[in-house]
Structure 1
Amino acid sequence: MNFQQAVATCFAKYVDFSGRASRSEYWWFFLAYLVLAIVGSFIHQYVYFIVVLAFILPMLAAGARRLHDIGKSGWWLLIGIIPLVGLVLLYFTVQPSSPESNEYGPPPVA
């Protein structure tokens, strides 16, 4: 999945917390968020705030789908609230996709 496909897919599924998201889909979308947040913060704090608001639901949904891809529940996202322990999420999101179907559906098309 390339950058444009990942961003389009994540915004199209902005409240879809079911299914699975590949590593490339999640990380390309995260890169889009990071770049736009940095650029928005240089422009004005209101622009930054609008970027964060626009990305919060799609980012949560993509994170839940990414966790589903490795066989974890989307509720694991809540561990990010705890300082330092939330680094476990980084470990989870860099794991390779499980090649077989799991309880969350078939493997995503990479």
Structure 2
Amino acid sequence: MTFSQAISSCMSKYGTFKGRAARSEFWWFVLFQFLVFAAVAMLNEKLLALVQLGLLLPYLAVGARRLHDIGRTGWWQLIGLSGIGLLVLIYWWVQESELGQN
């Protein structure tokens, strides 16, 4: 999946937590978010907060779909709230896809 395909897919599935997301889709969207946040942060901090809020739901959705792709439930994203849990999530997000359905 290319950068533009990944962004298009994530934004069209804005709040869709069902299904699967490939590694490339997830990581391209993470890169897109980083670039958007960096660009907006240079402009205005209040605008940055709105953009972050606007991209939160698609980030959570693609994260849940990525976890579905490796055979885990999207609820595992809650461990990211603890500091060390984010490392576990990153490890899972880089795993290869499992064959089969969710």
TM-score normalised by L of structure 2: 0.96
Distance 1:20 1:52 in 2: 23
Deviations 1:59-100 (A, max 9, x none): 0000000000000000000000011232100000000111x2
Corresponding residue for residue 94 of structure 1: 94
Distance 1:53 1:85 in 2: 22
Corresponding residue for residue 107 of structure 1: none
Which SS does the other structure have where 1:95 is aligned? coil
Distance 2:12 2:77 in 1: 21
Within 5 Å, give how 1:26-41 maps onto structure 2.
Answer: 26-41=26-41
Aligned residues: percent identity? 45
Following superposition, the deviation at residue 47 of structure 1 comes to 2.0
Deviations 1:31-70 (A, max 9, x none): 0000000111111102211220121000000000000000
**Gapped regions of structure 2 (runs ≥ 5):** none
Corresponding residue for residue 15 of structure 1: 15
- CA RMSD in angstroms comes to 0.8
Structure 1 stretches of 4+ moved >4 Å = none
Give the length in aligned residue pairs. 102
**Gapped regions of structure 1 (runs ≥ 5):** 105-110
TM-score normalised by L of structure 1: 0.89
Distance 1:85 1:21 in 2: 21
Corresponding residue for residue 54 of structure 2: 54
More helix, by proportion = 2
